[in-house]
């Protein structure tokens, strides 16, 4: 038996001889495999990201916005508890710090509501996103929590994030050298190479350091999770697995828009939905690279209504493992499981960015990201969205999550497509990064065949446009 001791979260495994196992690992057959690995607490009593979402959606104190920006409705959803049993805190934050905070006195009987006003004065000329956060906390130590434990919260936008609209034609002269197979672009300290055949960004160097290990290219596939393994996600989404690889590129054209601004336009056609896919690069004299992917399905030839995700993929040098982002976090979140993840500025190493699920699965997504960066001690690669986006980062490849074993266990299809543990995943020596406008939710309402709700699907029968700006800078 495992003895957890006084602090269960300090239980650790000896990596030389101990692993977490599940059905089928003991030669047992038939088996439900990882079917029952669906708890919100890990085997060593650490909360999974779903724990925080379960806590958030079941909170009994509701905070709602009114027509007045700083006036909020507070509702008591308890059956017997007055809201004066808790302490209340308000905070106003910009993108990097808390601007003001204070306490609120609230007394509301069960089933009733009240209005409160946050005593904050808006600052004129503010250009940053401003968020107001309301939260409720326990007043004293109780059996199930310490004093100050947050039992409910909500965030509201006071002033929206100012997304860039496009890179400007600024900085030094942008130089272009084109051969039969490569377009070489030099801008300030940045040197870029774009494949003349595929239109992929194959190299991005700053101050002599190569940032890319694998090209930046369109990508539409998302590995399955346990729910999706049982709702025929693979069968329904299979055409998208190689949709990007099989795209037919018809033209790659370079245009010097001005001395300090160059455009590279790539036109391709996908086999799936006979969709037109255009990839456009704008490079300015400051070394900024704006990348836009435009997807337009052929209305006469739509065969697939949904896709796993709409975005791009690249692999970065493994040294760029210090990750900062401004968006939802700090834990993993997806479009249908993100209300508990607060918008803020977060930092993690690539290692701590991972989620240690026992069964290897799609993971690590962060939603509603405004900007992020990958850095080492010398260079920082910034990614700025022209709209909110998602990102994931792994030290392995998507294909490492799949198994071709021909097991004859009860859940044969699931076992064939994914029969691995997290400890089986290799370190590929690079950072596999997905940048996505939209990604399929973790879904189903149950885990034995239900599909994700349609509002969390990614439509493939509608156009999409996704833009972001890359800029690498020296840190020394």
Which residues in 260-295 are b (16+ Cβ under 10 Å) and which e? bbbebbbbbebebbebbbbbbbbbbbbbbbbbbbbb
Radius of gyration of the chain, Cα coordinates, nearest whole angstrom: 25
pLDDT at site 415: 47
Count Cβ atoms below 10 Å from residue 109 Cβ, excluding itself: 14
Structural domains present in the chain: 66-159 (2.60.40.10), 175-474 (2.70.98.10)
**pLDDT > 70? residue 408:** no
pLDDT at site 414: 47
CB-facing half-sphere around the CA of 248: CA atoms within 13 A: 8
Percent of the chain with pLDDT over 70: 95
Across the range 135-158, mean pLDDT stands at 97
Lowest mean pLDDT, pick from 2-6, 10-14, 54-58, 171-175: 2-6
**Using an 8 Å Cβ cutoff, are 286 and 170 in contact?**
yes
DSSP-H helix ranges across 144-301: 226-229, 233-237
Question: Which single residue is written with the structure tokens 């004299």?
Answer: 285
**pLDDT > 90? residue 36:** no
pLDDT at site 8: 67
Distances (CA, A) of 404 to 245, 310, 360, 414, 449: 21, 26, 14, 11, 22
pLDDT at site 393: 98
Chain segment 271-329, per-residue pLDDT in tens: 999 999 999 999 999 999 999 999 999 999 999 999 999 999 999 999 999 999 999 99
First to last CA, the chain: 53
Of the segments 1-15, 40-54, 216-230, 300-314, which one has the largest average pLDDT value? 300-314
Chain segment 102-135, per-residue pLDDT in tens: 999 999 999 999 999 999 998 888 899 999 999 9
Task: Give the residue among 306, 313, 311, 236 at the shortest CA–CA distance from 273.
Answer: 306
**pLDDT > 50? residue 56:** yes
Chain segment 356-406, per-residue pLDDT in tens: 999 889 999 999 999 999 999 999 999 999 999 999 999 999 988 876 555
pLDDT at site 476: 78
Residue count (the chain): 476
pLDDT at site 34: 81
> Which comes out higher in pLDDT, residue 16 or 100?
100
Distances (CA, A) of 272 to 4, 268, 309, 460: 52, 12, 14, 9
Indicate the pTM of the whole model. Answer: 0.94
Lowest mean pLDDT, pick from 22-36, 258-272, 385-399: 22-36
Chain segment 61-89, per-residue pLDDT in tens: 999 999 999 999 999 999 999 999 999 99
**pLDDT > 80? residue 4:** no
Across the range 31-56, mean pLDDT stands at 89
pLDDT at site 133: 98
**pLDDT > 50? residue 1:** no
Chain segment 412-452, per-residue pLDDT in tens: 544 444 557 888 899 999 999 999 999 999 988 887 888 99
Across the range 262-278, mean pLDDT stands at 98
């Amino acid at each position: 038996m495992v003895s957890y001791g006084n602090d269960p979260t300090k239980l650790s495994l000896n990596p030389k001889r101990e692993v977490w196992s599940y059905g089928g690992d003991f030669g047992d057959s038939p088996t439900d495999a990882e079917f029952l690995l669906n708890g919100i607490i890990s085997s060593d009593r650490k909360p999974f990201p779903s724990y925080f979402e379960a806590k958030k959606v079941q909170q009994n104190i509701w905070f709602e916005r009114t027509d007045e920006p700083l006036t909020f409705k507070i509702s008591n959803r308890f059956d017997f508890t007055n809201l004066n049993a808790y302490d209340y805190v308000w905070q106003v934050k910009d993108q990097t710090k808390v601007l003001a905070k204070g306490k609120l006195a609230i007394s509301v009987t069960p089933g009733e509501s009240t209005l409160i006003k946050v005593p904050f004065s808006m600052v004129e000329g503010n250009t940053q996103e401003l968020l107001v956060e309301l939260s409720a906390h326990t007043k004293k130590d109780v059996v199930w929590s310490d004093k100050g434990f947050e039992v409910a919260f909500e965030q509201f936008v006071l002033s929206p994030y100012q997304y860039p609209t496009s890179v400007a034609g600024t900085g030094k002269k942008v130089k272009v050298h084109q051969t039969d197979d490569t377009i070489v672009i030099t801008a300030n300290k940045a040197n870029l190479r774009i494949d003349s055949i595929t239109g992929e960004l194959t190299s991005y160097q700053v101050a002599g350091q190569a940032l890319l290990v694998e090209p930046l290219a369109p990508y539409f596939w998302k590995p399955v999770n346990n729910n999706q393994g049982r709702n025929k996600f693979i069968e329904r989404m299979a055409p998208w697995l190689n949709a990007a690889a099989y795209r037919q590129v018809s033209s790659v054209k370079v245009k010097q828009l001005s001395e300090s601004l160059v455009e590279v336009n790539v036109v391709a056609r996908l086999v799936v939905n006979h969709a037109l896919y255009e990839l456009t690069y704008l490079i300015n004299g400051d070394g900024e690279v704006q990348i836009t992917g435009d997807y337009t399905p052929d209305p006469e030839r739509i065969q697939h209504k949904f896709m796993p995700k709409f975005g791009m993929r690249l692999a970065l040098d493994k040294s760029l493992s210090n990750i900062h982002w401004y968006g939802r976090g700090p834990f993993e979140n997806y479009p249908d499981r993100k209300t508990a993840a607060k918008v803020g500025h977060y930092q993690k190493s690539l290692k701590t960015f991972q989620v240690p699920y026992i069964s290897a699965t799609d993971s690590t997504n962060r939603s509603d990201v405004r900007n992020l960066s990958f850095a080492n001690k010398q260079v920082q690669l910034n990614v700025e969205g022209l709209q909110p986006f998602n990102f994931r980062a792994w030290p392995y490849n998507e294909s490492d999550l799949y198994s071709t074993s021909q097991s004859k266990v009860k859940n044969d299809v699931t076992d064939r497509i994914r029969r691995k543990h997290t400890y089986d995943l290799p370190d590929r020596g690079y950072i596999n990064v997905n940048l996505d406008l939209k990604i399929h939710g973790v879904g189903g309402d149950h885990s034995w065949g239900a599909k994700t709700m349609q509002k969390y699907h990614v439509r493939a029968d509608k156009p999409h446009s996704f833009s972001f700006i890359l800029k690498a800078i020296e840190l020394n």
